[in-house]
Amino acid sequence: MQVYPHGLGPASSLQPTGNGLEDGCEFDWVVIGAGGAGLSAAVFAAIEGAKVLVVERTEWVGGTTAWSAGTTWVPGTHHSAQVNPYDTLEQAATYLNHAVGTQAPAVLREAFLQQGARAVAKIESQSSVKYRPYPKHPDYISDLPGSTLCGRALEPVPFDGRLLGDLFSLLRPPIPEFTVLGGMMVDRTDINHLLAMTTSWASFKHALRIVGRHLMDRLRYPRGTRLVMGNALVARLLHSLAQHPKATLALNTSVAELAQDAQGRVVAVHLKNTRDVSDNTNAPVCRVRVKHGVVLASGGFNRDPVGRAQKLPGIPAEWCPAAPGHTGEALALARGLGAVEGQGAQSPAFWAPVSLRARADGSTAVFPHFVMDRAKPGMITVNQRGERFVNESTSYHLFALGMQSAPQASPAYLIADAQALRRYGMGMVRPGGKGLGPFLDDGYLTQGATLDELAHKLGISAEGLKQSVAHNNACAKTGVDTQFQRGVTAYQQNIGDATLGGPNPNLGELREGPFFAVMLYPGDIGAAQGLQTNQHAQVLNGEGQAVAGLYAVGNDMNSIMGGVYPAPGITIGPGLVFAYLAVQHALAPAAGLGSNP
């Protein structure tokens, strides 16, 4: 693989020869964006023998996928039978039909389900990408017909980053707040072992092994090389692409124009250095000819100020925990060719509650509260009236939508007693209850000896908070949340804590002072609204016709889930499958390219 880390300028030591991409050069397949979906599209094309160019506007490979759990939701794969041999594609279709309905075209869901297993089998058999099924990973709306507890959600197998060689330096590092010991990545399995290392010999051995590996890594690397979750998935994709000599990766590079021929087919892309994009007159431009197609995988609209103002009014970009780079520029170029965006979704974005904290370097940490705290017993979430307003154990997407629809719930306040804080932590505060001083000093964590004092410090209704806690405590004794039915579905129970032995794994009393709070905001974690496509991932115009030579995958493609979040990995899974379908459509018939089924 040829690598140009500095865009169109001089190459680095990763590419010892040449001065950059040559003007007028030709590629079979050009991918705009080096996140999970874009790299998948590049790997599938490279497998077919295509000459591939990947263009990435940032200095890193991986996009938001590198910061994510890396979960890939694809029903019906060969992995499913290992943990759920009774699941079928018909059941998955039933579930999606109930969850999504008319909020996205059914034909796209059908293509996803019918081709998903082939996509997973192909990339696993012909690349370094490897998955495993998580033993229990329920669909999020698990009370709907057709839902399952496991088998559809795949996670990437951990990867040894040392195998990337010099390319390791191009991999987007994980969010610092999601690592421990100065850059050691941990997944849910690791966290459980670390928490149990003093009570379980197996956990102690697991913890000793990964910590020892990390300490050895830090003698040679700026962070740990044992990669898990989304970092592992991106590393596996990058490692796979690096095995193909006809692949090229250009970082710090933006697309300035999509050029069409007289018949309206996209036949070229004009590229600029990212640092020169603002200079429309003097910036050098490299024109790259495209033989079989361009696929947009730039991450969606979420950091486009115009797009945010239209689609997410009142939600500052500072609340978005996604990786930078998805500026919407590629989408604007596609709209200039007549492309249209999908309509009718539940929401234009996917959501999670987030908390904010200033880092020492002046940047802001945006921490998504997925499953580790808010659903646990001994915690509730209230609005500025001190009132509960949502089922705390629902999916992060529905939780954050609830924050936006409820009165005075943005910001909201995650409340815990001392026992819950010690057991589960709160956002960036680790479990154990130690080292609270810096979090209290900078205001990320608020502490009150009593509920009255906590409410006073937060500026919310003390009477409302005390009533909410009293009602929660009464419900915890019976196991029945009469207000929001917390803990009634398999998904909710799975992210609670059954080890406490109470009647409801999501409910617990708040009784041990001091009491603590973290402020929550609704943060958009990815675009749901994108370019409308057909079942081949071809971009469509206002008449429903394909824009020849132009494809979209990932968050640039209008979500097949219609803005609903029915399961873990419902962005990465379709991103993979439609990358496969796009390549099959664009390249399989091409003369001179081998087709590997």
pLDDT in tens, 189-199: 888 888 788 88
Q: What angle do CA 448, 451, 457 make, to 5 degrees?
A: 50
pLDDT in tens, 338-371: 999 999 999 999 999 999 999 999 999 999 999 9
Instruction: Identify the domain containing residue 489 by its residue range.
Output: 349-524
Kindly state whether residue 594 falls inside one of the protein's structural domains.
no
CATH of the domain at 408: 3.90.700.10
Kindly state whether residue 519 falls inside one of the protein's structural domains.
yes
Kindly state whether residue 74 falls inside one of the protein's structural domains.
no
pTM score: 0.94
The Cα–Cα gap between 529 and 297 comes to 13
Kindly state whether residue 401 falls inside one of the protein's structural domains.
yes
Which pLDDT tens digits describe the chain residue by residue (597 residues)? 999 888 776 544 344 333 457 888 999 999 999 999 999 999 999 999 999 999 999 999 999 999 999 999 999 999 999 999 999 999 999 999 999 999 999 999 999 999 999 999 999 999 999 999 988 999 999 999 999 999 999 999 999 999 999 999 999 999 988 888 878 888 878 888 887 888 889 888 988 898 888 888 888 999 999 999 999 999 999 999 999 999 999 999 999 999 999 999 999 999 998 875 554 455 668 999 999 999 999 999 999 999 999 999 999 999 999 999 999 999 999 999 999 999 999 999 999 999 999 999 999 999 999 999 999 999 999 999 999 999 999 999 999 999 999 999 999 999 999 999 999 999 999 999 999 999 999 999 999 999 999 999 999 999 999 999 999 999 999 999 999 999 999 999 999 999 999 999 999 999 999 999 999 999 999 999 999 999 999 999 999 999 999 999 999 999 999 999 999 999 999 999 999 999 999 997 664 565 444
Kindly state whether residue 565 falls inside one of the protein's structural domains.
no
From residue 547, give the alpha-carbon distance in Å to each of 266, 293, 536, 554. 8, 10, 12, 18
Kindly state whether residue 445 falls inside one of the protein's structural domains.
yes
Kindly state whether residue 260 falls inside one of the protein's structural domains.
no
Q: What angle do CA 596, 299, 23 make, to 5 degrees?
A: 70
| Tokens 């010999």 -> residue | 201
Rg (CA), the chain: 24
The Cα–Cα gap between 519 and 308 comes to 23
Q: What is the count of structural domains for the chain?
A: 1
Kindly state whether residue 256 falls inside one of the protein's structural domains.
no
User: Does residue 314 contact residue 38 with C-beta atoms inside 8 Å?
Assistant: no
